[in-house]
Amino acid sequence: MATWSLVATVKAPEEKLLAFAAYHLSLGAEHLWLFLDDPDQPVPELLARHPRVTVTRCDEAHWTRVGKKRPPAHQNRQAQNARYAYRKQATSDWIVHIDVDEFILAPRPIAAILDDTPPETIVMKLEPFEAMHDPLLPDDIFTSREFRGALRHEYWPRRRAALGPYRKVIRDGMLSHSVGKVIYRTGIPGLLPRLHTVMVDKEFVRTPDWHPEMQLLHFHAQDKPAWLAAVPFRMTKGAYQFRPELQAFLAEATPEEVDRFYRRTQILPVDLRDELAKVGRVVLADLHLRQKVEALRDGQL
């Protein structure tokens, strides 16, 4: 059976780290390589002692081992850690590099999916679906059960229905990235991980199609207070820095306008949700993260 591991550069409260780890351990990850972007953050005891988890503080000693000065941009730190894990740490057949607010969804064991992958395939692309806000759901650490994918031109009428006057503010109907993440084979000479793709011998490996079974659920804006708090950083250094329409809107909008924008674009009416689900633009999933964290505490994962 094929094995797979996960690498992530993380900066999040302990509860979210545990949810991320517990969920992917429950999927069958052989190992989690977690890099604490803030080297002063305490290492959760549950993860420090877990045989399938390695937590690394990204302190000066770590960057010395990597052979690089600490990159100022968090995106470059993520990429360098992914490359370090690929070169020095990964022992599984495949590795996936994602963020702490991203969760892989698959209808059957990922190992079985990888077993069915043709041997000439070295990288596969996971389509992102953004978590929608639902105020009626009980807290589950990362809380959502409705995830909307990109609404490109072929879905124009539904995009108009979903986004209304903001359809030109949000590229492809996604607040964050719409390019997805990749899972790739280990042991490939010349392979260099990037944030959303890989290179082999300094050339990008084309991955034109989304994997038909694996999706990436992204908790980007489902928590409104957390989203509002993150907007300034995302405008200047994060996901929104190359999004001029979104930047202009958020820079000029009043709090009332931002509230209308959020309610219109991040909350799905039931009829629209069902319509989008029929055409594969909404994924419904209950992740049961608190339950999985309890299983981790009980030694079941």
- pLDDT tens for each residue of 96-139: 999 999 999 999 999 999 999 999 999 999 999 999 999 999 99
Q: What is the mean pLDDT of the chain?
A: 95
Q: Is the pLDDT of residue 25 over 90?
A: yes
Given this model, what pLDDT does residue 88 score? 85
Share of the chain above pLDDT 90, in %: 87
The per-residue pLDDT for range 163-216, each reduced to its tens digit, is 999 999 997 889 998 999 999 999 999 999 998 999 999 999 998 899 999 999
Q: What is the pTM of this model?
A: 0.96
Q: Convert the pLDDT of each residue in 54-87 to its tens digit.
A: 999 999 999 999 998 999 999 999 999 999 999 9
The DSSP code sequence of the chain is: ---EEEEEEE---HHHHHHHHHHHHHTT-SEEEEEESSTTSPPPHHHHT-TTEEEEE-SHHHHHHHTSPPPSSHHHHHHHHHHHIIIII--SSEEEE--TTEEEE-SS-HHHHHHTS-TT--EEEEEEEEEPP-TTSPP-SS--SEEE----GGGHHHHHHHHGGGTTTSGGG-SS-SS-EEEEESS-TTEEE-SS-EEETTEEPP--SEEEEEEEEE-SSSSHHHHHHHHHHHHHTSTTTT-HHHHHHHHH--HHHHHHHHHHHHS--HHHHHHHHHTTSEEE----HHHHHHHHHTT--
Q: What is the pLDDT of residue 238?
A: 87
Mind listing the pLDDT tens digit for each residue in 256-295? 999 999 999 999 999 999 999 999 999 999 999 999 999 9
Instruction: Give the model's pLDDT for residue 154.
Output: 87
